Amino acid sequence: MDDNSMGDKKRISRRKLLAGAATAATVALIRTVSGQTVHAAVGAKAATPGAATPGAATPGAATGRATGIPGDPTKKPGVPPGKLGTRSSFEHLVKKPSDTSSRSPLQDFYGSITPSDLHYERSHNGVPAIDPEKYELLIHGMVERPMVFTLRDLKRFPALSRICFLECSGNFRTGKETLTPQDICGLTSQSEWTGVMLSTLFREVGVSPKASWFLAEGSDSAVLTRSIPVSKGWEDAMIVYAQNGEAVRPEQGYPARLLLPGWEGNANVKWIRRIELSDQPFMTREETSKYTYPIKDGKIRQFSFVMDARSMITFPAYPVQLEKGWVEIRGIAWSGWGKISKVEVSTDAGRSWYPAQLQEPVLDKAHTVFRLLWRWDGQETEILSRATDETGYIQPTLNQLIAARGEDMGGYHLNPVTAWRIRKDGAVLFVPENRK
């Protein structure tokens, strides 16, 4: 008898045992379509992971107290090892989709990495299906050697991983008290990205020193295009094919996308198929009629790439019901210009500010977790956070942004300090700003 057959025998008997247990305790081990075996209450709605109805979950709350979960888990054999991990059937994290985008549940996250299936989405005509075997990236224009790279080719080049945030430049909502962090600014997420530096590919094709811009084009049905300064390509742009340790998700650009650390999401062209080097921008629809905004004197600001520093308290936040006593105020801060150097928190509606603790390591152009311990005395107050980055930029108020850009500044690149009102009864509500 070798080890294998021994193992088989063990497994069979274990399975039998488990089946018996399930019958007895009304807990079944359900094999899902993807081949996963999970604990699930018989007849419970949330039996299959991923089948949770969007919108059905209450943010931040552990809903779905399934019936049939044994009172004492030490008295029943558990689920045997499987091919894929699962999210606990008690956890119902979901993105919040609209027709054009889907928002990350910032209030439900711990730490700074966004689980890949909860990364925010923004696309301009849906997520394309692309066969990685047929994928090709063409680089041409002002280069010595126009070249085509397959996905395999891209993976053969020296690779690099970095953690950075992505953010849609239209990432600010206000107007009512009952908004969650996800509603207000859920169009930002963070991943560890792996790929090849664009500078490596620029060397390979021999980019002309006279080239000053490049066009990046996606292979979605919007065939989305943006013009990017070549300097960003030499500095820190990447073509990434992996996200958090596995292939980039389709919603994030599978099989490969452009990554421009710190720059507005739209310019980080997903599903990238073509790069054309040029000596001028192409003035595509996305960089003219969209992703531009009115500033003072009737002018329109264009090529506004970098995301300014920002912070957001994600706890306590609507719809949390706060209890009197010790509260750790938590949130994230980030800047497209570099590292976050300071986050200040006010617990008295902005009269005084205290430095929050920053979670190390503080990374360049990355979501940085901050925390401040506070004792709530049960009186009504407002809590706010304010980020400062290493360039000395201090996150402005909405009024400061209006003073700088004018009343008609539109909806792009708004990063105002936001406040949560805590009522005596413990209700936490967003403090909406009144804008025309």
Q: According to CB under 8 A, which residues from 356 to 375 bind other proteins?
A: 360-364
CA distance 306 to 164: 13
Please, which residue, 71 or 158, has the CB nearer to other proteins? 158
Residue choice 108, 121, 183, 389 for contact with other proteins (CB under 8 A): 389
Instruction: Enumerate residues 6+ apart whose C-beta is below 8 A from 12.
Output: none
Applying CB under 8 A, does 225 fall inside the site for other proteins? yes
Number of residues that bind other proteins (CB under 8 A): 73
Judged by CB under 8 A, the stretch of 8-16, 90-98, 193-201, 312-320 that binds other proteins is 193-201
Q: Which residue has the tokens 């066969």?
A: 131
Please, which residue, 74 or 280, has the CB nearer to other proteins? 280
Contact 211, 199 (CB under 8 A): no
Least distance (Å) from other proteins to the CB of residue 220? 9
Applying CB under 8 A, does 426 fall inside the site for other proteins? no
Contact 117, 92 (CB under 8 A): no
Applying CB under 8 A, does 289 fall inside the site for other proteins? yes
Residue choice 76, 96, 124, 249 for contact with other proteins (CB under 8 A): 124
Least distance (Å) from other proteins to the CB of residue 335? 8
According to CB under 8 A, which residues from 334 to 353 bind other proteins? 337-339
Instruction: Enumerate residues 6+ apart whose C-beta is below 8 A from 256.
Output: 135, 137, 151, 154, 195, 239, 240, 241, 248, 271, 272
Nearest-5° Cα angle at 240, 235 to 242: 140
Judged by CB under 8 A, the stretch of 85-93, 184-192, 215-223, 250-258 that binds other proteins is 215-223
Least distance (Å) from other proteins to the CB of residue 154? 8
Mask: binding to other proteins, 238-257, rule CB under 8 A, as x and -? --------------------
Q: How far is CA 92 from CA 57, 59, 107, 132, 231, in A?
A: 6, 8, 12, 31, 43
Please, which residue, 63 or 199, has the CB nearer to other proteins? 199
Applying CB under 8 A, does 119 fall inside the site for other proteins? no
Least distance (Å) from other proteins to the CB of residue 219? 10
CA distance 163 to 186: 18
Contact 174, 435 (CB under 8 A): yes
CA distance 387 to 44: 44
Least distance (Å) from other proteins to the CB of residue 131? 17
Contact 158, 359 (CB under 8 A): no
Residue among 109, 280, 127 nearest 191 (CA): 109
Instruction: Enumerate residues 6+ apart whose C-beta is below 8 A from 428.
Output: 316, 317, 318, 319, 320, 321, 322, 420, 421, 422
Least distance (Å) from other proteins to the CB of residue 282? 5
Residue choice 25, 26, 303, 349 for contact with other proteins (CB under 8 A): 303
Least distance (Å) from other proteins to the CB of residue 350? 17
Residue choice 25, 79, 295, 431 for contact with other proteins (CB under 8 A): 295
Please, which residue, 57 or 414, has the CB nearer to other proteins? 414
Mask: binding to other proteins, 125-164, rule CB under 8 A, as x and -? x------------xxx----xxxxxx--x--xxx-x-x--
CA distance 59 to 320: 9
Judged by CB under 8 A, the stretch of 77-85, 168-176, 302-310, 424-432 that binds other proteins is 302-310
Applying CB under 8 A, does 192 fall inside the site for other proteins? no
According to CB under 8 A, which residues from 392 to 411 bind other proteins? 392-394, 396, 400-401, 403-405
Please, which residue, 164 or 428, has the CB nearer to other proteins? 164
CA distance 226 to 274: 11
Q: Which residue has the tokens 């039998």?
A: 16
According to CB under 8 A, which residues from 75 to 104 bind other proteins? none
According to CB under 8 A, which residues from 257 to 286 bind other proteins? 273-274, 276, 278, 280, 282-285
Give the H or E element holding residue 48: none
Exposure class string for 72-110: b at 16+ Cβ within 10 A, else e: eeeebeeeeeeeeebeebeebbbbbeeeebbbbbbbbbe
Residue choice 235, 328, 348, 380 for contact with other proteins (CB under 8 A): 235
